Structure formats: structure tokens, C-alpha cells
């Protein structure tokens, strides 16, 4: 039984490493050539794999860029549930977005490259908006669960506003060419709504 678990873990680690390498090769090619001009075949050649191998790891070019965002919505909802009960909902929402900032802190240059790609490609922008919209129900539910008298509509509005603050902060950070601090921009975006 223990060996089976170890094999699964090793397999998962290997799969994650391969996905990461394929995504890195794809993003580098998109950065050089432009996302919309690159085909799946081009990406496969650049990564040194067949098209079918690439498609086993990513269902589309968009997923090669945005696949790392899949878990972020769940991470944010879990972080929101872990916030102290006495904390205001707005503060808890701001703090639950810290997982989004981890990639920025770990690799500001790489994150800037990806945000530029997303902003320059309508296909990537649309897919990112779809992903972000998919995070909203879990985030709103986690927010509503913090209240003794939950209001699902209010929770959805607040969660959507928090995600919009994140999007706007990322847009401003990208426009500054990464010169501004993304966490500070996110704090300012939240403060702007808190005082409105």
C-alpha cells in the first residue's frame, strides 16, 4: 500500500514538472512570437514533444498560460474560511487574495510576462475572465459562511468587487512595467472601495 502511494506521488511530481516545463516553453514562444500567431504545432515543436503529448497536459494554448490559475480560486476560498471570525469581511477578502500574490513575489518578471500576454490577447483575456468568474461562487459561499445571518446576494457582490480589485491592481502593475508593488496596489484598490 505504501509503495502504491509513493508511485502516485512520484507520478504526480513528474507530471507537475512536465507541465511546468511545457508551459515555460509555450510562454517563451508566445512572448517572442505573439500568442495569436503561434499554433499548437508550433508550441509542441518548441517544447520538443508531439502535439498529442502537449494536448495530454494542456487542452489548449490558453491552458498552457492560465493553467497555473486553476487552483487559485479554491485557495482563496480556503484562505477566506481560515481568516479570524472577528475580522471585517472586507479585510478578510483582501487577505484571502494573498495566494494570488505569491507567484508575483516568487517570480515578478515571469508574472509580468504572463500578465502582458493575457492583456495583449483577446483569447487569453476572455479565458482569464471565465476562470475568475468560476472562482466567484466558492468565494461568495465562504464569505456568506462567515456571517450568522448570511446574505448570498451581498456576499456575491463583495466577492465580485474583491476579484475586480485584484484585476485592476494587476492591470496597473503591468502598466507600471512591474515598477509598482502589486500588494500595495491591491491594498489601494481595496481602500478605494472601503472609503466609497
CATH number at residue 174: 1.10.357.10
Average pLDDT value for the chain:
90
Most confident residue range from 57-61, 127-131, 186-190: 186-190
Co-location of 81 and 170 in the same domain: yes
What is the rounded average pLDDT of the residues 157-177? Answer: 95
Co-location of 160 and 132 in the same domain: yes
Q: What percent of the chain has pLDDT over 90?
A: 64
What is the rounded average pLDDT of the residues 157-181? Answer: 95
Co-location of 78 and 107 in the same domain: yes
Q: Residue 195: pLDDT above 70?
A: yes
Last-in-domain residue among 61, 95, 112: 61
Q: Residue 90: pLDDT above 90?
A: yes
pTM: 0.82
Enclosing domain of residue 48: 2-61
Last-in-domain residue among 61, 80, 111: 61
φ, ψ of residue 75 to 5 degrees: the values are -65, -40
Co-location of 104 and 143 in the same domain: yes
* Residue whose C-alpha cell reads 481568516 in the numeric block: 83
Taking the mean position of all CA atoms in its chain, how far away is CA 30? 18
Number of domains in the chain: 2
Query: 68: pLDDT confidence band, cut at 50, 70 and 90?
Result: confident
Co-location of 171 and 82 in the same domain: yes
Find the farthest-apart pair of alpha carbons in the chain and give their distance in angstroms, rounded.
Answer: 57
Q: What pLDDT score does 196 carry? A: 61
CATH of the domain at 22: 1.10.10.60
Please give the Cα distance from 186 to 177 (Å, whole number).
16
Q: What pLDDT score does 180 carry? A: 96
Co-location of 32 and 77 in the same domain: no
Amino acid at each position: 500500500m505504501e509503495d502504491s502511494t509513493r508511485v502516485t506521488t512520484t507520478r504526480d511530481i513528474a507530471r507537475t514538472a512536465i507541465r511546468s516545463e511545457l508551459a515555460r516553453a509555450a510562454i517563451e514562444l508566445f512572448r517572442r512570437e505573439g500568442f495569436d500567431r503561434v499554433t499548437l504545432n508550433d508550441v509542441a515543436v518548441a517544447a520538443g514533444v508531439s502535439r498529442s503529448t502537449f494536448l495530454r497536459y494542456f487542452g489548449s494554448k490558453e491552458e498552457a498560460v492560465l493553467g497555473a490559475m486553476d487552483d487559485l480560486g479554491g485557495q482563496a476560498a480556503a484562505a477566506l474560511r481560515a481568516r479570524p471570525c472577528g475580522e471585517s469581511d472586507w479585510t478578510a477578502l483582501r487577505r484571502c487574495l494573498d495566494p494570488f500574490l505569491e507567484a508575483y513575489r516568487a517570480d515578478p518578471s515571469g508574472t509580468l510576462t504572463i500578465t502582458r500576454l493575457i492583456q495583449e490577447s483577446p483569447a487569453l483575456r476572455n479565458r482569464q475572465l471565465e476562470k475568475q468568474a468560476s472562482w466567484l461562487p466558492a468565494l461568495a459561499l465562504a464569505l456568506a459562511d462567515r456571517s450568522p445571518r448570511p446574505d448570498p446576494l451581498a456576499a456575491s457582490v463583495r466577492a465580485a468587487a474583491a476579484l475586480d480589485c485584484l484585476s485592476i491592481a494587476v492591470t496597473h502593475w503591468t502598466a507600471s512595467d512591474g515598477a509598482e508593488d502589486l500588494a500595495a496596489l491591491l491594498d489601494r484598490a481595496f481602500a478605494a472601495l472601503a472609503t466609497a
